[in-house]
Amino acid sequence: MKISDLRLLPAGDWASVNRDFKWRVRPDFSMARACCDDWAAVSPERTAIIDLAENGTRVVWTFGALKDASDRLAAAMRHAGVKKGDRVAILLSQCPEVMVAHFAAMKLGAVVLPLFTLFGEDALSYRLTDSGAVLAVTDDAHLEKLVSAAAGTELHTIVTKGRPSVAGAPRILAWDDALRGTASGFRPEVVGAEDPAVLIYTSGTTGAPKGALHAHRFLLGHLPSVEMVLERPRAGDVAWTPADWAWIGGLMDLAMPTLYFGLPLVSQRMRKFDPDAAFRLIRDERISIMFLPPTALKMMRQVAVPSGLATRAIGSGGESLGADLLAWGVNELCAPINELYGQTECNLVVSSSAGLGVTKPGTMGRAVPGHDVSIIDDAGMPLPVGEVGEIAVKRGDPVMFLGYWNLPEKTKEKFAGDWLRTGDLGRVDDEGYLTYVGRDDDVITSAGYRIGPTEIENCLIGDPDVVNAAVVGVPDPVRTEIVKAFIVARDGASLDSLSERLIERVRARVSPHVAPRAVEFLEALPVTATGKVMRRVLRERG
Burial class (CB within 10 angstroms; exposed 0-12, middle 13-18, buried 19+) of 189:
middle
pLDDT at residue 168, rounded to an integer: 66
Residue type present at position 232: R
Q: Report pLDDT digits (tens) over 500-529.
A: 999 999 999 999 999 999 999 999 899 765
Neighbours of 127 (CB within 10 A): 26
- Entry pTM: 0.88
Q: Report pLDDT digits (tens) over 126-162.
A: 999 999 999 999 999 999 999 999 999 999 999 999 8
- Nearest 5°: phi and psi at 333? -100, -10
pLDDT at residue 527, rounded to an integer: 79
pLDDT at residue 361, rounded to an integer: 86
pLDDT at residue 420, rounded to an integer: 98
> Radius of gyration of the chain from Cα atoms?
23
| Pairwise CA distance, residues 51 & 267, whole Å | 5
pLDDT at residue 206, rounded to an integer: 60
In order along the chain (542 residues), what is the average pLDDT of each group of 10 residues? 92 95 97 98 98 91 97 96 98 97 98 96 96 97 94 96 76 93 86 98 77 98 98 98 94 98 95 92 97 90 94 89 88 96 96 96 94 96 94 97 97 97 93 85 80 85 89 91 94 90 94 94 81 83 82
- Asked if 9 and 23 count as a contact pair (C-beta separation under 8 A), the reply is no
Domain 27-216 classified CATH 2.80.10.50?
no
Q: What is the CATH number of domain 444-541?
A: 3.30.300.30
Q: How distant, in Å, are the alpha carbons of 46, 205, 438, 459 from that of 534?
A: 56, 12, 18, 19
| Pairwise CA distance, residues 27 & 129, whole Å | 32
Total residue count of the chain as it appears in this document? 542
> Which residue in 371, 96, 365 sits closest to 218, CA to CA?
371
Spell out the residues 6+ positions from residue 10 whose beta carbon is closer than 8 angstroms to its own: 16, 17, 20, 21
Beta bridge partners of 87: 111
Q: Would you list the domain boundaries of the chain?
A: 27-216, 444-541
- Relative to beta strand 196-202, strand 171-174 is unpaired
- Asked if 162 and 185 count as a contact pair (C-beta separation under 8 A), the reply is no
Beta bridge partners of 439: 424
| Pairwise CA distance, residues 363 & 431, whole Å | 11
